[in-house]
Amino acid sequence: MIRFAAARDEALWDLSLPTRIGSSVEIRADLRESVYIPIFKTGGYLHQIGEDLACKELICEGDLVFDVGANIGYTTLLFSQAVGSSGKVLAFEPAPRTFNLLVRSLAQTNNVECLNLAISSRAGEASFYETATLDTSSLEAVEKIEPYTVAVDTLDSLARSHGHPAFVKIDVEGHEQWVFRGMESLFLHDKPPIILFEALSEVVLREILSVLKDLAKNTYTYYRIRNGGQLTEMGDVLGTNNYVALPAWGLNRAQKIIRARRKQVTQTETAYPIDRAT
């Protein structure tokens, strides 16, 4: 019904929505796009609450953060708040349509740079498959969608030109392992980055961990994120589809949420007060 109304009312094509990120943090939305509906209703994405809470613990003021697969910028805004005025966020989004929405939402931030790029294992160009929902678009082939060409770069190359990141978020709908193959020098750095990544199936998770352990050797300890933001064992059945790779230096930042990993999590939605569903 919201999208039906938006299709007929231009006032709903560009409006500011409050978010769960903070009382003064808003995102610019076009309610013709389904990706904004959860934000309109609840201020964010309920399936992402655990990820949001974990990121607030793992990212510190002054950090350089790479947001790979920034989409419309909800997570980018959270990162912008976390790094503060002394930090910086690089947000990567390859789809022109989604990138324009991203730039619009981040226009008022002073610590975010948006780059219209896909990230993979090599630089150049690649076929990109943009879905109607925007948040499931990918470099991986999608049935019945005609791809178009986008620019591609590697995180190794971008780190050389923009600086070494403390935190990297990777959400690229099945292309994660190829992103990792393009960041080998980051793994070899004296301070390898904390990595947040998504794996939507056990098969994809096994592939990602195999590549990570091959490239990064014993650099990382791996955790699964629970709905309450705790970092728990990889096999925890109550975990989400989001995972964290922690280098030794990052364990200090994570101690608070690692120690809490065995506590029962209930009513995680109360961590955020906004609920516009009513």
**Residue 10, in any domain of the structure:** no
Phi-psi category of residue 201: left, alpha or beta, with phi > 0 → left and psi -120 to 50 → alpha:
beta
In tens digits, what is the pLDDT along the chain, a chain of 278 residues?
Answer: 777 787 777 778 889 999 999 878 999 999 998 999 999 999 999 999 999 999 999 999 999 999 999 999 999 999 999 999 999 999 999 998 999 999 999 998 999 999 999 999 999 998 888 888 777 777 787 778 888 899 999 999 999 999 999 999 999 877 888 999 999 999 999 999 999 999 988 888 999 999 999 999 999 999 999 999 999 999 898 899 999 999 999 999 999 999 544 444 444 433 433 333 32
Is the pTM value of this prediction over 0.95? no
- CA-nearest of 67, 66, 52 to 21 is 52
Q: Tell me the C-alpha to C-alpha distance, in Å, between residue 194 and each of 26, 56, 74, 234, 272.
A: 27, 13, 20, 16, 25
- Nearest residue to 74 via CA among 100, 52, 47: 52
pLDDT on residue 137: 78
The answer to whether residue 198 sits within a structural domain is yes
Task: Let me know if residue 207 belongs to a domain.
Answer: yes
**Which pLDDT belongs to residue 261?**
41
Q: Could you tell me if residue 255 is inside a domain?
A: yes
Where in the sequence is the domain holding 239, given as residue range(s)?
A: 47-271
At 259 the pLDDT is 59
Element (H, E) at 59: none
Strand, helix or coil for residue 205: helix
Domain contains 206: yes
Asked if residue 246 is part of any domain, the answer here is yes
CATH number of domain containing 228 = 3.40.50.150
pLDDT given at position 273:
39
The answer to whether position 8 is within a domain reads no
Neighbours of 38 (CB within 10 A): 17
Q: How far apart are CA 71 and CA 45, in angstroms?
A: 13
pLDDT of residue 268: 42
As for how many domains the chain has, the answer is 1
Which has the closest alpha carbon to 56: 92, 30, 80, 26?
80
